[in-house]
Structure 1
């Protein structure tokens, strides 16, 4: 007997298989056991990790996907192999243990910290900019996944920051979507408390938050709670970057209203070919996910302009991620953009953006028609929608058109 599966179900099955193939099968367990030998050519990234996960008794695992009673703090130093041994944007997982620091990501040290020692860690690692970067991972991430991925982002972006990771209880399973979603709700208060402690430290000058996928829901909820509790988000939290946000677009609009007008600057990374978010959309009642919107189309275009939100559309960007869900971390160009501009709170749509930075980016100004915007984006892997680009848009298109030898036609005046 042959059972016919409806097309909608076939899509869901296909996406689940894709997620399964993209999982961490085959990696050795226990990569967080510190290695005894190091490599002179390797780089080091020291990360402060706060978690609401339950401690694991397994060596080198540290924390499981279950929920802990109290937040825990850990300092972890990661060794990253030389650039000649790896591609920028990639985590070089060891195939066997102990890891070889000359070619693998490896753990150098792990130290539990008290809240007072964590405060001292932040002050000791603050750069001259006094900037802190807090990263919140997404769905289907084990503790070590989040640690190594964040270390890769910090290293490859060359961000001038004190790096802090907030990792919540994800079971690291494609079949635990609802559990993971509830774990973000479980972790809202802890993230809000951490954000408040960091931003209220007089030694800290500025805080940037970067969240991926389901971690975007957790991040925006924590900021919403802070705004409701304190009347506004702390002014030191100046920039929020949401990469492939797994967020209901209607809910996000309400969250922005409740955070209020005195909110941080928001930047979104979206991609209409994000297969993981396509599955999330289907699971979540077929409501658009924020990370899949087309910023040139209404009603999003007007709403983004009104909210002052910058969007980087990565749909045309090709990376090795089969699901197109991790472009922000795997593209060398985007990772550099994160470190050079977004984490530092700078605009990405001034005259310096373009082939000079290896981006091939074009600013999609809000004064354009949708048709003209599409014509301008030809041959450009990153399209930037910025509600503040009206005045300078003509100059940007002209410069890019000259750089590409006429392959991009200006929409201005058409």
Structure 2
């Protein structure tokens, strides 16, 4: 009896942790080889041949009291603001879509990504002053990183996105408390919940600034949960999402499809424009699905197939399928930032609010866009119609669940009182 119990427990342990072990191995292979603690500013002597990105970083992390890291992965009861400049080497040295991590410290600005300026801002007024100094047409791009990110990881990745996209925006990064360990998935997920009010306040402060004309929220992976929850929370408080937040981009969203449907609807009728990047070969989302009740993650759907194609309507959601896109990420989880064509699409078309409805867009073969309300071909992108009520259900063969019943009410914009905060 004991022996049988032990075998069963061993089987369950292997079954439970095998995806995490696979992800761990891939993640370690992807992040090994570069030193940690790169936030201490380096001096630049003469021209580096590259460029730089100035960003405002808002965080709900605890300060580390170490200039090499600045912040930890623990949770702070108050947000912190920091003015940071990242130097990026010449495109002759690095390939677009890549972060050139230093092989040794201190970084060399001619060959590596390097922090050249750090200044703590002690008030919202100082943050507004920073924005006025760095305003670019009144357009703000707010980025939220995903699971398993150090503070420095999110800073360097966002600098790369801003530079490679060519986006004419004021860059603002929101980084939440991640312990940067594949074994802390649940801690990270709860940290996004912990950070909802801080992120909502960040968006509200931006929206209330007269210098800001429009805001694009771009979130990746687990950060999409934080973005959706904060926007939903804002809509419930104020009756709608702030009008200046007119564009939301979700990249590889690690969100249960049923939950996304509720979040989306409870924002009300006056929602921002949504664009979602998906990939069916995303290994990180496959592991997340395994440990999340085997319910499909939004970032891994096939938007051209049922039931998804016929279940997306209302609000003109555009879904861009990157399954056939090849990038350097072994998990296939960061294609939106690592494909030069895709990141340029973000900066030159999506951030500016342009739709994918004309022949001027050309992304090459293998990228499919399911564009709401359009049946035309967009350059080399095959556009299909998204038409029917948004009641996202996972698979036709799956037995109905409570969440499916809730999905039938998604045509109504009235927020659910039971789900209010």
User: Shorter chain as normaliser: what TM range?
Assistant: 0.7 to 0.9
Q: After TM superposition, give the deviation of residue 278 of structure 1 in Å.
A: 0.4
Which of 282, 299, 305 in structure 1 is aligned with 2:307?
299
2: CA distance between counterparts of 1:172 and 1:191?
20
Q: After TM superposition, give the deviation of residue 166 of structure 1 in Å.
A: 0.2
Partner of 1:68: 76
Partner of 1:405: none
* Count of residues paired in the alignment: 372
2:140 equivalent to 1:124: no
The answer to which of 380-389 and 301-310 deviates more is 301-310
Alignment of 1:288-327 (within 5 A): 288-327=296-335
Equivalent residues of 1:31, 1:99 under 8 A apart:
yes
SS in 2 for 1:182: helix
Equivalent residues of 1:268, 1:310 under 8 A apart:
yes
1: CA distance between counterparts of 2:187 and 2:380?
46
2:87 equivalent to 1:102: no
2:368 equivalent to 1:383: yes
SS in 1 for 2:313: helix
1: CA distance between counterparts of 2:327 and 2:374?
28
Partner of 1:274: 282
Per-residue displacement from partner, 1:52-102 (whole Å, max 9, x unpaired)? 000002231000000112100000011000000100010000111111111
Q: After TM superposition, give the deviation of residue 26 of structure 1 in Å.
A: 3.6
Per-residue displacement from partner, 1:92-148 (whole Å, max 9, x unpaired)? 0011111111100011010001211110111111113x1000000000000000000
Per-residue displacement from partner, 1:183-237 (whole Å, max 9, x unpaired)? 0000000000010010111111000000000000000000000000000001110
Equivalent residues of 2:271, 2:315 under 8 A apart:
no
Q: After TM superposition, give the deviation of residue 19 of structure 1 in Å.
A: 2.6
The answer to which of 193-202 and 24-33 deviates more is 24-33
SS in 2 for 1:35: coil
1: CA distance between counterparts of 2:241 and 2:314?
19
Structure 1 residues 232, 306: closer, same or farther in 2, change over 3 A?
Answer: closer
Q: After TM superposition, give the deviation of residue 28 of structure 1 in Å.
A: 1.8
Partner of 2:44: 37
Q: After TM superposition, give the deviation of residue 13 of structure 1 in Å.
A: 3.2
Which blocks of at least 5 consecutive residues in structure 2 are unaligned?
Answer: 1-6, 385-421
2: CA distance between counterparts of 1:205 and 1:387?
25
2: CA distance between counterparts of 1:175 and 1:191?
25
SS in 2 for 1:221: helix
SS in 2 for 1:118: helix
Q: After TM superposition, give the deviation of residue 400 of structure 1 in Å.
A: 4.9
Q: After TM superposition, give the deviation of residue 383 of structure 1 in Å.
A: 0.3
Equivalent residues of 1:38, 1:101 under 8 A apart:
no
Per-residue displacement from partner, 1:364-393 (whole Å, max 9, x unpaired)? xxxxxxxxxxxxxxxx32100011213xx1
TM-score by length of 2: 0.85
Which blocks of at least 5 consecutive residues in structure 1 are unaligned?
Answer: 361-379, 402-407
RMSD between aligned residues: 2.0
Which of 14, 22, 28 in structure 2 is aligned with 1:20?
28
2: CA distance between counterparts of 1:14 and 1:150?
27
2: CA distance between counterparts of 1:192 and 1:318?
34
Structure 1 residues 324, 38: closer, same or farther in 2, change over 3 A?
Answer: farther
Q: After TM superposition, give the deviation of residue 305 of structure 1 in Å.
A: 2.9
Partner of 2:339: 331
1: CA distance between counterparts of 2:75 and 2:66?
16
Alignment of 1:359-370 (within 5 A): 359-360=363-364
SS in 2 for 1:269: strand
Alignment of 1:142-181 (within 5 A): 142-181=150-189
Equivalent residues of 2:165, 2:343 under 8 A apart:
yes
TM-score by length of 1: 0.86
2: CA distance between counterparts of 1:170 and 1:27?
19
